Chain A
Amino acid sequence: MRDASPAKTYALHIGVIVLLFALNFVLPDYHQGLFARIMALAVFAMGYNLLFGYVGLLSLGHAMFFSAGLYGAGLTVYHLGWGVPEAFVAGVVCGALLALVIGLLALRTSGVAFMIVTMMFAQAFYLLILYFAAWTGGDQGLVIQQALRVVSIGGASFDLTDPTVRYMSALALFAIVLFVTLAVVRSRFGRVLVAIRENEERTKMLGYDTVANKLAAVVASGAICAASGAAYALLFGYVGSNFASIQYSILPLLWVLLGGAATTLGPLIGTLFMYYVTDITSGFTSAYLLIVGVALILLVLFAPKGIMGSIRERWLGWLP
């Protein structure tokens, strides 16, 4: 049904990327930095959305995949002196492997038990980071020096601390993940995932291996979140244990709920919206968590479909 307008869909997504590209030259310095951060974290939200929105699995432990990428990239650069591309790949591989192990265990449960199991594993991961403070820097974290964050491709070298290079790197990652997500949700695999969300028993009865499909979704989601973490470490030069704490498992849930679960652009909208709400209100109050809390409750009470979900329901039925 949604295949009726693939041209409109692609035009919209390309339009968003072009808009973000153009914003680089218009935005003041402060907002340029904020947007780079938002795009890197929107990738985290997209990874979360793949599992929560499309498969309907609510995880409370995605901070472990994000921080697996963060530390996978950060520690290889910091301790082993790896280059930026190798470190990024190391981060993604760490996240994917962790997701494979966690998926194999956690998918034996469902519903509330799945949430608690993922939360417990994430908590153990967080405590492990604190326990090995000698290497990870514990709750102080590690700062990755500017010299370590220079990529040289061919003859040219790019300094990731330069605002424009940083913005464009974040945009590149965001664009790649956006189109990968779009391709996945329009593919056969994506439709099986939605079928599992709607009725797992029936999907199984139709002959699909639901466990294998769910495991693939967990690994893909973990790898995307790890890519976000790895990018975050390399672009902003800091790794710390607070990125592994329970709060960073809740934030992607909030961003996705706000933007609209099971929509491709929802994660970006949610992250953008929440970041700016926090940024604007921080002028009046330091009660950042209060806003997060009130937003969560209002969302589940009055707008469970989120911004993009509501737009799709009211006006634009073709929105992916």
Chain B
Amino acid sequence: MHFGPHLLLAGLEGLVTSAVLALTALGLSLVFGVMRIVNVAHGEFFMLGAVLAWAISTAISGHPAIGFVAALVIAPLLVGLVAFLAEWLVLRRLNYNPESTIVATIGMLYIIQQLALTFYGPEARPVEPPFSYRILLPWFGYSGYKLSVVAASAILLVITWLVLTRTKIGLIMRATQYDRETAQAFGIPVERVYAGVFAVGAMLAAIAAVLIVPISQAHYLMGQDPLLLSFIVVIIGGLGSLRGTVVAAVLIGLSDGIISMFFSPTLAKIIATLVVAMVLVFRPQGLFGTAPR
């Protein structure tokens, strides 16, 4: 294969990574933006989504599409429930203190990971894609499912954006994000908003995981890379900025795909991590964010 098609393939792979990453990072960004807490267990919600997707799709017989659709609906709901309970039982009692919540979510990370290892096991297991259509390009065939992941993710991002900017729920969320106490004074049930946002954030990660699991397999340690990459995306994009998150996800996903195809993946990760640390040190509001009030 020549350089051009090679680059196109790397770009397509990068686009798929970007799509899933944008959804996952959006969840993290929402939680940080509204609740001002860093959820270290976010990657584990992603992993939980993938593992549940495997469990649901193997439990349902018949055409793989039926199992997949069932997983796409049920897995995020279950993950949302787990996140809701975690918020209700732990985070609320900590009064959303940034340092205590980090320690508590680290605890959740270990608990979820260990439970997945105990009940699901150390194996990586695949989920069958709902359809296996190949799009034939002049140089190579490309999985139609992968492209549909990009489309699905784009639609979900647009829906989230519409909810945030055009509905009353979005208005309430933005009000809480802007000033918690004033929002409460205006009768907004801040605690319920927080619980909802935490659950929705986890559900976005779970949806992303269900979408990616037919491409990469479900494994109990699969939450680590998405967590780190989501951090990178949220930081580069500016904390709490939806547009910045999406732009950064595309940027990181594409460059990750292209750099890993031509150089060592470890080197790509080292460079990305150091760049992000430097961005955070010298431009804490992110590359696209505005200076904090």
| Chain A interfacial positions (CB closer than 8 Å to B) | 58, 60, 105-106, 108-109, 111-113, 115-117, 120-121, 123-124, 127-128, 130-131, 250, 253, 257, 287-290, 292-297, 299-301, 304
Q: Tell me what chain A mostly uses at the interface: helix, strand, loop, or mixed.
A: helix
A296:B110 contact, CB within 8 angstroms: yes
- 9-residue interface stretch from B14-22, B161-169, B198-206, B276-284: B276-284
The 8 Å CB contact of A289, one of B103, B110, B269, B284, is B110
Q: Which residues of B contact A60 (CB under 8 A)?
A: 102
8 contacts between A and B (CB under 8 A): A106-B281, A120-B274, A121-B273, A123-B228, A293-B110, A297-B107, A300-B94, A300-B103
B266:A113 contact, CB within 8 angstroms: no
Q: Which residues of B contact A289 (CB under 8 A)?
A: 110-111, 113-114, 117
Give how many B residues have a beta carbon under 8 Å from the other chain's beta carbons: 38
Q: Which residues of A contact B94 (CB under 8 A)?
A: 300-301
B109:A113 contact, CB within 8 angstroms: no
A116:B280 contact, CB within 8 angstroms: yes
B266:A127 contact, CB within 8 angstroms: yes
B273:A127 contact, CB within 8 angstroms: yes
A290:B38 contact, CB within 8 angstroms: no
Q: Is B192 an interface residue (CB 8 A)?
A: no
Q: Is B132 an interface residue (CB 8 A)?
A: no
CB-based A-B contact count at 8 angstroms: 103
B274:A124 contact, CB within 8 angstroms: yes
Q: With A112-B38, A121-B277 given, is the CB distance from A301 to B106 under 8 Å?
A: no
A223 and B231 alpha carbons, distance in the complex (Å): 28
Q: Which residues of A contact B281 (CB under 8 A)?
A: 105-106, 108-109, 117
Q: With A131-B267, A131-B270, A287-B114 given, is the CB distance from A297 to B280 under 8 Å?
A: no
Minimum CB–CB distance for A56 against chain B, Å: 9
A123 and B274 alpha carbons, distance in the complex (Å): 9
Q: Is B52 an interface residue (CB 8 A)?
A: no
